[in-house]
Structure formats: C-alpha cells, structure tokens
C-alpha cells in the first residue's frame, strides 16, 4: 500500500512538472519596439492632435505593408519628444525581411507631421529602439 502511495505521488509530480513545462512552451514570447518621436519645428500641437505609430513588415515590394502593431494616443498639449512602445510577438516577425516604424501626427483629418524616411528595426541587425524625427506636412 505504501508503495502505491509513493508511486501515485511520483506520477502526480511528473504530471505537474510536465504541465508546467508545456505551459511555458505555449506562451508567446512578446517584446516591444520602443523609441521617441520629435520634430524640428518650434510649434505647439493642438490639444486634440493624435499621435499614431506603427510597426510594419514591408518585405513584399508589390504588396501593401503588413501592420504588426499600432499605438495611437492624444497629444494632450504635451510637448515633444513623445515616447512610444509597439508590442509584437516573435511569431509576427518570423520570416520578415524588412520591419519598419512609421509615425504621423494628425489634427482631425489633417496630417501635421509624418515620417519621410525608412526607419528599419529588428531585421538586418537593426535595434529594437528607434528615435524618429518627423517632417512637417506642407499645407
């Protein structure tokens, strides 16, 4: 009887250890691309301006970019720089050739600032941190 109790405890322990290992394997690794947005012009943004930052896979030249992550937040009268964090999972970028960050600041339907250069991250040895200078959109 004592042997049966020990055996059942061993089986239960192995089952729990196995489940713990399995739950760890099932979790999706998640990271984030972080950085700041700024612009050179000395202008204040309207309080209700919106800041939008996107992480995209632009690997295919003849196809639209595949958006991996996007964050939007109101400027709320704050001054630059704006910090951002774009979460992603490794599964979302696996096999991607070119991952970029783009950003824009809008006021209603009007675009005020936007990225005008390629801001590559995560691929080709590029870091996961990007400080971006936006260009003012001419009216």
Q: Tell me: the pLDDT tens digits for 102-123?
A: 999 999 999 999 999 999 999 8
Query: Of 107 and 14, which is predicted with more confidence?
Result: 107
User: What DSSP assignment string belongs to 59-89?
Assistant: --TTS--EEEEEEEEE-TTPPSPEEEEEEEE
Beta strand residue intervals within the chain, DSSP E: 30-39, 50-57, 66-74, 82-89, 99-107, 110-114, 120-121, 129-136
Specify the range with the lowest mean pLDDT, choosing from 14-23, 84-93, 109-118, 120-129.
14-23
pLDDT score at 77: 85
Q: Is residue 28 within 8 Å of residue 92, measured between CB atoms?
A: no
Residue pointed to by tokens 């003849």: 62
Q: Tokens 């691929």 belong to which residue?
A: 123
pLDDT in tens, 30-80: 699 999 999 999 999 999 999 999 999 999 888 899 999 999 999 998 989
């Amino acid at each position: 009887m004592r042997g049966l109790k020990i055996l059942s405890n061993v089986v239960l322990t192995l089952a729990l250890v196995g489940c713990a290992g399995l739950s760890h394997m099932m979790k999706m690794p998640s990271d984030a691309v972080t950085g700041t947005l700024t612009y050179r012009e000395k202008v204040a943004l309207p309080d209700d301006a919106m800041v939008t930052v996107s992480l995209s896979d632009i690997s295919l030249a003849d196809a639209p970019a595949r958006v991996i992550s996007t964050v939007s937040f109101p400027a709320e009268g704050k001054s630059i720089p704006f910090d951002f964090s774009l979460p992603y999972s490794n599964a979302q970028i696996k096999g991607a050739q070119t991952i970029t960050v783009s950003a824009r600041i809008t006021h209603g339907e009007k675009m005020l600032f936007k990225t005008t250069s390629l801001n590559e991250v995560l691929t080709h040895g590029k870091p996961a941190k990007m400080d971006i200078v936006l260009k003012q959109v001419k009216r």
